[in-house]
Amino acid sequence: MTTPRAAALRPPDRDALRAVLREVAGTSGLPIAFGGQVQPHLAASGRDAVRITELRGTRTAHLRGLAVVAGAGLGGRVLTEGRLHAVEDYGLARGITHDYDGPVLAEGLCTVVATPVLVRGAARAVVYAASREPGSVGDRVRDSLTRAAGRMAAELAVRDEVDRRVAMLEASAVGPHPGGHDAASLEEVRAVHSDLRLVAAALTDDALRERVHAACSRLAALGGGGRPSPPAVALSARETDVLAQVALGCSNAESARRLSVRPETVKSYLAAAMAKLDAHTRHEAVVRARSLGLLP
């Protein structure tokens, strides 16, 4: 379940879907792209369904809002089987049910390809590409949809991990520590802070990365029981990333592996952070950063 704090961090997943459809429209060679997110138990039967919400290149509104139920139509088959399927003449296609002939044929679609967006084996969305002309569905189309769906799946997986980590933080925010935490909970807050910074470094969504960094600032303030305020020392994102790993006891080599950089790069960032913090040792830098609310 997404907590209120995680919901505040997470941008709408429809944004990721729109980006995927732009990519498909530009690379597949088919002029129409549309899709929707999976809504569990949407149908009266209790089956999952895909609600079509995003359209590119369509001429009518017949597909907008359409709920494609698992097992029904091309999208429903994709949803059930968890793999890409295509039809080269929709009206004559066998192997799919024709529950949605009305809106599909009203839009004039003929060649239609659909693929699921799978996150940990579960379908989270279905992406379509289509043409109003019959034609062979080649590798270019299949590769385009597969790559785009894979990118969306990776983005959703990262967002899910952010939600999970924030939920862990909220669950640990109890105890007799002066800052609102017992010792074990405070260590968990510090571990979550470090991991969230690793997640942020892997994000491709700039807005989401900034929101995660803002959450990290709130976590840093939790270490002292206060609220985030402008720090007296300004560390760069990478300098803070390195200090967060050092604070967990990681060596330069371990920090480099976790941050996917070279040990020399870690050493350089650490030296810069120590200079800004007027610290002479790694330990002193961590203590100084915590006292300034830069780390929990």
Residue 114 sits in the same domain as residue 187: no
Which residues form the domain of 257? 173-291
Residue 184 sits in the same domain as residue 143: no
pLDDT tens-digit profile, the chain (296 residues): 555 555 556 778 999 999 999 999 999 999 999 999 999 877 667 789 999 999 999 999 999 999 999 999 999 999 999 999 999 999 999 999 999 999 999 999 999 999 999 998 999 999 999 999 988 899 999 999 999 999 999 888 888 877 776 666 666 554 444 444 456 667 777 887 888 888 888 777 777 788 788 878 877 776 554 444 555 788 898 999 999 999 888 899 989 988 889 999 999 999 999 999 999 999 899 988 888 888 87
Burial class (CB in 10 A: 0-12, 13-18, 19+), 245: buried
Q: For the chain, how many structural domains are there in total?
A: 2
Residue 137 sits in the same domain as residue 183: no
Residue 296, domain member (yes or no): no
3-state SS of 97-117? CCCCHHHHHHCCCCEEEEEEE
Residue 9 sits in the same domain as residue 137: yes
The answer to whether the beta carbons of residues 141 and 129 sit under 8 Å apart is yes
Residue 164, domain member (yes or no): no
Rounded to two decimals, what is the model's pTM? 0.66
CA contacts within 13 A on the Cβ side of 238: 13
